[in-house]
Amino acid sequence: MLTLDDLQHPVGEVCLTILQQRLQEVRTQGALLRKTPSAEEVLHDTRVAVRRARVWLKLCTPCVDIPRKARRALRSFARASGPVRDLEVQEAWLASVHVRAGARQGWEALRERLAGEHAAHRAVLLDTLPEMLEGAQRALERMRPLDGADGESCGIWLAERWLDAASPYLAGMHHLPEGLHPLRLVGKQLRYMLEPLATALNAQDVLRHLRQGQDVLGRMNDANILAAALPAHAAALLAARFEEDLHAALEQGEAPRWLHPTIWPGLRAVCQALLDERQEALAALHGWRLSAGDALAEGLPRIGVQLAGSDGFDGFGQPL
């Protein structure tokens, strides 16, 4: 955690300290994952640690020399973790869907297919873990402030980058759900930037609104991803069932007589539940915008003011 005094220190020095903390968190969580590769919570915490580290690695590139190989290793892990996370969410959502007895066969077939894909992607992700841990260690050992990075205070430097991200975020809140994906990306950047600063700037309220925003933005995004993937899942399952039924009919010396495979009612029920989920997610998204919009419109610029003039402002952005 940073203090107001830390913001007066040279930017290269402070960025190096934050990166060391973030990369050490990556190593700690990654080591736990190596010991317990089947633990869902540990995998989640490792992915979050890597995302936090990557935000600060990108942010600090102009003032800290970071080995490229280390950055590539973390990027590989992050990319491999995306499908795992999406499938985890889809499995959890599908498990929560209630279907009638006659529709359970299709629902169970879809769950089984998602579980198989999840296991395959998880294996790919775990294959990247040793390289990621080695990359984090390499960065910790070889990072150093770049020449000339000590001429500016960290507060001034961070203020500019904070406002560069905050401005499109505030603008994007008025273009939902069309601007959903870019808003999620910049929201992650703001959230992870603010976490080490929230206590010093007394900005826990802004951090809470950003987290709530990421939750509702993520829910809408998850529904959209499942809507894009569901047709392919359903088509593969239906094709397999048609093939099985056709083989069985021909072996009995007759043409098939079915109208729909037995999994069809379950797939239809899941599609209807997904339509309902998208409507609920959209309502939650607009509810968050209405409830948090004014607070964020005030709070995000306030943080920029505090960072830029941290020695002349109190924790609420007011002049001393």
320 domain residue, yes or no: no
The pLDDT tens digits of the residues spanning 219-267 come to 999 999 999 999 999 999 999 888 888 888 899 998 887 777 889 999 9
Q: What is the pLDDT of residue 150?
A: 62
Residue 149's pLDDT band (boundaries 50, 70, 90)? Answer: low
- Number of domains present in the structure of the chain: 1
315 domain residue, yes or no: no
Q: What is the pLDDT of residue 319?
A: 47
319 domain residue, yes or no: no
Cα dist from 310 to 5, 12, 81, 122, whole Å? 8, 18, 37, 44
Please state the rounded mean pLDDT for residues 38-47.
93
Q: What is the pLDDT of residue 228?
A: 94
- Domain of residue 270 covers 6-308
Q: What is the pLDDT of residue 105?
A: 94
User: Which residue type is seen at 246?
Assistant: L
Domain CATH for 282:
1.40.20.10
53 domain residue, yes or no: yes
313 domain residue, yes or no: no
- Nearest to residue 288, comparing CAs of 211, 221, 223? 211
Q: What is the DSSP letter of 6?
A: G
Q: Give the alpha-carbon dihedral of 307, 312, 316, 320, to 10 degrees.
A: 180
- Within 10 A of 155 (CB to CB), how many other CB atoms are there? 23
If DSSP codes are grouped into helix, strand and coil, which group holds residue 162? helix
314 domain residue, yes or no: no
316 domain residue, yes or no: no
Q: Give the alpha-carbon dihedral of 173, 177, 183, 187, to 10 degrees.
A: 80
